[in-house]
């Protein structure tokens, strides 16, 4: 059988290791998730009796992360013969190797019900031997211990149990650093990789990272060099991830925000508002696509045409294109202090009234993975001389945040009620 395998040498030690814990920190674009997926496909095809469970904090986010990576690996490796070797199911998400019955399933640990499901995992053939925890920093230590407890019992002499964690090392105070990196344990292999180790990365991505090095040195340490850090000066703290109703009638109003892009992301957010709280229901987040390619994606995502779509007013031609496609696209008024980025941010943080400020929450559906990543790292610029943060956001990887700022336009400018 002809298999198309693209391997980065920096992961050779990881793929050969039989240690129980493989803990992989690295920068964005380092290739760690792609290599992990490819290696699992080969391992499960070669070794009978092995089964894999892929874990994310929220179960639903597996579809666009671990499941997408694994199915992508299968199609890259086998091309149009992929489904001769693997049975690929979408409901529920499941992959089964046709030659030996080994399986890959997908789970979350977001609540007690999901955690209980982990305790009852069984397979028709073999045992649960492998666990892949993607975005491992989302999980608590207790979550991982529940998963770890599932890997038990005697195995054949040539078999082994293994948990692999992949993540960007955002917080130097995270429990993963203390448990796995700050201690010496012969059962643990820690690994570090960056986008510079990935020989398959494209030139445009290199250019984006070089730009980040200039405009956001602190962020570059984490997302460019994969070093432990702690992002200070975060702009928004009043948000949380929660599975949200996709029924638009459940909200007081609905709007769409869009930030145009090509080399940087073109971001579209579907937003709801209810009781003054904001709900980010869905996202489209794509690079290097023309408007004519993005409109079908908006239709596929059921972005409503009868709701206002607020866009960057600096792109009138693109706005016209969206209007011709039937969307209620219009530009955001950026004039005066009320149109400033700071005014938009102040509104997102809470309603400022005559006598008091009302706390506002922003809820994000877990499917909006890129929006979540931006919220985690959207921060104020720092004055290099004084070390103080300025009232100006870092202008990097903020496309979803721009779409969010635009999408609230009408709600923000409604006449305020004084309490």
Residues 300 and 179 in one domain: no
The CATH number of residue 397's host domain is 3.30.420.280
Are both 191 and 280 inside the same structural domain? no
Q: Phi and psi (nearest 5°) for 380? A: -80, 150
Does residue 156 share a domain with residue 46? yes
Instruction: Tell me, yes or no, whether 146 and 282 share the same domain.
Output: no
Q: Is residue 126 part of a domain?
A: yes
Say yes or no: 308 and 381 in one domain: yes
Q: 374's torsion region: left (phi>0), alpha (psi -120 to 50) or beta?
A: alpha
pLDDT in tens, the chain (419 residues): 677 888 899 999 999 999 999 999 999 899 999 999 999 999 999 999 999 999 998 888 899 899 999 999 999 999 999 999 999 999 999 999 999 999 999 999 987 788 888 878 889 888 999 999 999 998 999 999 999 999 999 998 889 999 999 999 988 889 999 999 999 999 999 999 999 999 999 898 888 898 888 888 888 888 899 999 776 788 999 998 888 999 999 999 999 999 999 988 999 999 999 999 999 999 999 999 999 999 999 999 999 999 999 999 999 999 999 999 999 999 998 765 555 898 899 999 986 555 556 679 999 998 898 999 899 889 998 887 787 888 889 888 899 999 999 999 999 887 443 32
| Sequence-distant (≥ 6) Cβ neighbours of residue 300 within 8 angstroms | none
- Cα–Cα distances (Å) from 342 to 137, 235, 338, 392, in that order, read 30, 10, 9, 7
Total domain count for the chain? 2
Q: What is the CATH number of the domain that holds 104?
A: 3.40.50.300
pLDDT (0 to 100) of residue 218: 80
Give residue 285's domain range.
239-412
CA trace torsion 68, 27, 170, 404 (10° rounding): -60
Residues 208 and 270 in one domain: no
Q: Are residues 281 and 200 in the same domain?
A: no
What are 351's two structure tokens?
């309603």
Residues 29, 170 within the same domain: yes
């Amino acid at each position: 059988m002809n298999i198309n395998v693209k391997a980065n040498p920096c992961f050779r030690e990881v793929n050969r290791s039989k240690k129980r814990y493989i803990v992989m920190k690295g920068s964005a674009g380092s290739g760690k998730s792609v290599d992990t997926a490819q290696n699992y496909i080969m391992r499960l095809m070669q070794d009978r009796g092995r089964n894999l469970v892929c874990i994310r904090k929220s179960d639903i986010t597996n579809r666009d992360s671990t499941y997408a990576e694994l199915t992508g690996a299968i199609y890259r490796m086998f091309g149009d013969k992929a489904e001769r070797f693997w049975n690929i199911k979408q409901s529920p998400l499941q992959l089964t190797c046709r030659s030996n019955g080994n399986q890959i399933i997908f789970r979350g640990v977001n609540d007690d019900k999901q955690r209980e499901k982990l305790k009852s995992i069984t397979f028709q053939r073999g045992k649960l031997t492998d666990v892949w925890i993607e975005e491992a920093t989302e999980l608590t230590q207790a979550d991982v211990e529940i998963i770890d407890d599932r890997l038990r019992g005697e195995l054949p002499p040539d078999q082994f149990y293994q948990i692999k964690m992949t993540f960007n090392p955002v917080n130097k105070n995270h429990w993963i650093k203390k448990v796995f990196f700050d201690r010496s344990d012969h059962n643990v292999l820690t690994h570090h990789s960056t986008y510079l180790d990935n020989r398959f990365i494209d030139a445009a991505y290199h250019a984006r990272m070089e730009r980040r090095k200039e405009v956001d040195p602190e962020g570059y340490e984490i997302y460019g060099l994969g070093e432990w850090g702690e992002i200070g000066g975060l702009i928004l703290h009043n948000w949380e991830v929660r599975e949200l109703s996709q029924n638009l009638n459940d909200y007081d109003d609905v709007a769409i925000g869009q930030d145009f892009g090509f080399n940087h992301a073109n971001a579209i957010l579907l937003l709801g508002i209810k009781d003054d709280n904001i709900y980010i229901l869905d996202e489209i987040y794509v690079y290097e696509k023309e408007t004519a390619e993005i409109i079908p994606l908006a239709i596929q995502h059921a972005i409503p045409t009868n709701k206002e779509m607020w866009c960057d007013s600096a792109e009138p031609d693109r706005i016209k294109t969206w209007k011709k496609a039937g969307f209620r696209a219009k530009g955001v008024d950026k004039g005066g202090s009320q149109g400033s980025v700071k005014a938009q941010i102040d509104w997102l943080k809470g309603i400022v009234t005559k006598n008091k400020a009302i706390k506002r929450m922003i809820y994000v559906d877990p499917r909006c993975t890129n929006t979540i990543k931006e919220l985690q790292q959207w921060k104020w610029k720092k004055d290099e001389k004084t070390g103080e943060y300025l009232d100006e956001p870092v202008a990097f990887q903020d496309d979803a945040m721009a779409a969010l700022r635009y999408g609230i336009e009408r709600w923000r400018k409604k006449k305020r009620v004084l309490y």
